[in-house]
Amino acid sequence: MTSAYDILDRLIAFPSVSRDGNIDLIRYIADALAAAGIASRLFPHENGDRASLFATIGPEGPGGIVLSGHTDVVPVDGQAWTVDPFRMSRKGDRFYGRGTTDMKGFIACAMEAAVAATERRLTRPLHLAFSYDEEIGCVGVRPMLDELATAGIDPEWVLIGEPTAMQVATGHKGKTGVKAYCTGHSAHSALAPTGLNAIYMATELLAEVRAIQADIEDSGPRDDDYTVPYTTLHAGVIQGGTALNIVPDACRLDFEIRNLAGDDPMAYMARLFDKAERITAEGRKRFPETGIRLDIFNTYPGLNVDPHGKATETVKSLSGGQQFKVSFGTEGGLFEQAFGAPSIVCGPGDMEQGHKPDEFIELSQMEACRKMLGKILDRLS
């Protein structure tokens, strides 16, 4: 049987950066599973350059476990790598390459476990769910989950194999990404009051973003399991203007909300929509074409699993890890919405290594993951 390390070597060789697609990698996975007698179903994107994959080993029907991973990786552009990022290399007990930690190491272990499962008499199913475009906002998994939600898949729990150093993560914040398009009225800067400055409109809206953040810090819900124990609003991009002597008629402000799982981001968006409407109404007293449009371009739910629930205790016993919450987002909340089953985040590698040059995963982490998945097969047999 092909080892997880040989599989990882093959996976790293596919430069499955989100912007470029993953179809060659996903076809390799499908072919490797088929060689072991495992049928899989692909959920392709309409442009054909990327797809998600779902496979089941063992009996059809309810129960069992889903092993979930994303196949896309972040770019290496501008990073100072000392090794080829798309050729796995080993130095001592470290395996280097883009995606070794985030999260092809887990996928390699999951594929190895799936092949091993074909030699067992499983009494409950083992499912594999491998997605695309997770890195750009948990995008690619959604069409697959939409179809599977009505296909009779009813797992006991879902294992999201994101890198947690094999610790057991039971929660993370949700995210809402927003673009604010501000349209003003141009004028010569010597006559600035005769125009409507779109940058000023954006900064008025930004002031409301900051006011909401201040209110949250003062009296909003808290969860001290996080480094930042409350919902955050953050502006990351502002673009407007062409020259100093022109009153700008266009400006774009990009901001996000990272919310505690029990804190509704739409309540904050309601305040921002109201503020945008008030700025728009004031501007249109003079210039009918002006205003602010808010576009929510991406959102995914937070995760907050029962810390004392059966799934949590099971994964802690299987991995030997301690319980905590992670700062980064995952597909876990989307799996919970689709299947109604708890999602636990636990996988090999440390996110401290993810997204960086010379990304690596430790041998000990791979071995710990292989051991945990072996115990899962024992439980399903």
Q: What is the pLDDT of residues 135-148, one digit of tens each?
A: 999 999 999 999 99
- Nearest CA-CA partner of 76 in 46, 96, 57, 62: 96
Average pLDDT over residues 112-131: 97
Residue 1, pLDDT above cutoff 80:
no
Residues present in the chain in total:
381
- pLDDT of 260 reads 97
Structure tokens at 103: 């999260």
- Nearest CA-CA partner of 14 in 2, 5, 23: 23
Coil, helix or strand at residue 185: strand
- pLDDT of 15 reads 97
Task: List residues bridging with 350 in a β-sheet.
Answer: 164
Task: Name the average pLDDT for the chain.
Answer: 97
Model confidence at 162, in pLDDT bands (50, 70, 90)?
very high
Model confidence at 60, in pLDDT bands (50, 70, 90)?
confident
Model confidence at 357, in pLDDT bands (50, 70, 90)?
very high
315/18 Cα distance (integer angstroms): 30
Alpha carbon 350 to chain centroid, angstroms: 16
Coil, helix or strand at residue 232: strand
Residue 106, pLDDT above cutoff 80:
yes
Residue 332, pLDDT above cutoff 90:
yes
Average pLDDT over residues 322-338: 95
- pLDDT of 7 reads 98
- Nearest CA-CA partner of 355 in 207, 131, 134: 134
Q: Is 203 exposed, middle or buried (0-12, 13-18, 19+ CB in 10 A)?
A: middle
CB atoms closer than 10 angstroms to residue 367 = 15
Residue 51, pLDDT above cutoff 90:
yes
Share of the chain above pLDDT 70, in %: 100
- pLDDT of 309 reads 95
Model confidence at 152, in pLDDT bands (50, 70, 90)?
confident
192-234 tens-digit pLDDT: 999 999 999 999 999 999 999 999 999 999 999 999 999 999 9
Average pLDDT over residues 163-181: 97
Q: Which residues have CB under 8 Å from 211's CB, separation 6+?
A: none
245-300 tens-digit pLDDT: 999 999 999 999 999 999 999 999 999 999 999 999 999 999 999 999 999 999 99
**Sign (positive or negative) of CA dihedral 1, 120, 103, 357:** negative
- pLDDT of 138 reads 96
Q: Which residues have CB under 8 Å from 321's CB, separation 6+?
A: 164, 165, 166, 167, 168, 315, 346
210/51 Cα distance (integer angstroms): 39
What are the b/e assignments for 170-196, b being 16+ CB within 10 Å? bbbbbbbbbebbbbbbbbeeeeeeebb
- pLDDT of 212 reads 98
Residue 61, pLDDT above cutoff 90:
no
Residue 123, pLDDT above cutoff 80:
yes
365/21 Cα distance (integer angstroms): 27
